Amino acid sequence: MNAFINLSTITLILYSAFATVLAYLMGSIPFAIIVSKLFGLQDPRQFGSGNPGATNVLRSGNKKAAALTLIGDAFKGWLAVFIAQQLFTHYSTTIAIVAIAVFLGHIYSLFLHFKGGKGVATAIGVLLALSPLLALSLIIIWVLMAVLFRYSSLAAIVAAAAAPLLYLQLYSYHLNNAYLATIAFISIVLIYKHKTNIQKLLTGQESKIGAKKK
C-alpha cells in the first residue's frame, strides 16, 4: 500500500512538472509578434511602449491584428489551465502551478530571450478557466475604466488590484486557497509589470488607447 502511494505521488509530481513546462512553453508563444508579421506590420517591440501585447499592436492602427493578438494571448492562458483541470481534476495545487507557468511564460518568453508582454490578456484567459465569473467581473471593470479614462494601463492596474478582493467576495464560503494564492500572485506581478506605466500616469506622459505609434 505504501509503495503504491509513493509511486502515485512520484507519478503525480512527474506529470505535474511536465504539465508545468508545457504550460510555460505555451505561454511563451509571442502572438503579438507572430500576428504582426502575418499582417506585415512593424515588430511591436520597436514602437510605442515596446511591449509585445495587444494594446501596443493596436497602436499600429490595425484593429484586426490587435484583436487577434488579444484572442491568442487570452486563449493560450485559458487552454493551458483548462487542460490541467481535465487532467488534474482533484489537484488544485497542480492546476494553480500550471496557471502561473503559462502566465509567466508570456511575460518571460523563452522565444524572446526571457522577455515578453505584461500578461494582461493571458491573465484574463487564466481567470476565465479558474473562475469565469471573476474574469467577467474584471473585464467589466477594465472596460469601464478604459472608457472613462482611456488608459489601458490604468484599467489593467485597477482590475489587477481588484482581482483577489473580488475572488474573496465571490467565493467567501468555499475558497480554494491554491486559486486565491495564484490570483494574488498574478495581480502583484501585473501591477509590478506596469511600474513604468504608473510613473507615466503620474507625470501625464502615458499614451491613451487609440493613440498611433511613435
Q: What is the DSSP string of 184-200?
A: HHHHHHHHHHTHHHHHH
Amino acid at 22: L
Question: What's the mean pLDDT in 30-35?
Answer: 98
pLDDT bin (cut points 50, 70, 90) of residue 9 is confident
In a domain, 89, yes or no: yes
Question: What's the mean pLDDT in 18-25?
Answer: 98
What is the rounded distance in angstroms from the CA atom of residue 51 to the CA atom of residue 213?
12
In a domain, 164, yes or no: yes
8-state DSSP, 45: G
Using the predicted structure, report yes or no on whether residue 20 has a pLDDT greater than 90: yes
For the chain, give the mean pLDDT.
94
Q: Residue 152 corresponds to which cell in the numbers above?
A: 489601458
- Comparing CA positions, the residue from 101, 107, 105, 104 lying closest to residue 51 is 107
pLDDT bin (cut points 50, 70, 90) of residue 68 is very high
Question: What's the mean pLDDT in 114-122?
Answer: 97
Three-class DSSP category at 111? helix
Share of the chain above pLDDT 70, in %: 94
In a domain, 214, yes or no: no
In a domain, 210, yes or no: no
Which structural domain, as residue segments, surrounds residue 149? 2-203
Report CA torsion sign: 74, 83, 132, 24: negative
pLDDT bin (cut points 50, 70, 90) of residue 133 is very high
Q: What is the largest CA-CA distance in the chain?
A: 66
pLDDT at 6: 47
In a domain, 178, yes or no: yes
Asked if 29 and 75 touch (Cβ cutoff 8 Å), the reply is: no
Instruction: Please give the tally of structural domains in the chain.
Output: 1
- Runs of H (alpha helix) within the chain: 2-27, 31-38, 54-58, 63-87, 92-107, 120-130, 132-149, 152-170, 177-193, 195-203
Sole residue written with cell 490570483: 183
Angle between helices 177-193 and 195-203 (to 10 degrees): 50
Using the predicted structure, report yes or no on whether residue 5 has a pLDDT greater than 50: no
pLDDT bin (cut points 50, 70, 90) of residue 167 is very high
Using the predicted structure, report yes or no on whether residue 208 has a pLDDT greater than 90: no
What is the rounded distance in angstroms from the CA atom of residue 178 to the CA atom of residue 62?
39
pTM: 0.93
Could you tell me which residues come within 8 angstroms of residue 119 by beta carbon, excluding any fewer than 6 positions away?
103, 106, 107, 186, 189, 190, 193
In a domain, 73, yes or no: yes
Using the predicted structure, report yes or no on whether residue 135 has a pLDDT greater than 70: yes
Sole residue written with cell 504582426: 36
In a domain, 124, yes or no: yes
Share of the chain above pLDDT 90, in %: 87
In a domain, 212, yes or no: no
pLDDT at 2: 47
CA 110 to chain centre: 16
pLDDT at 209: 82
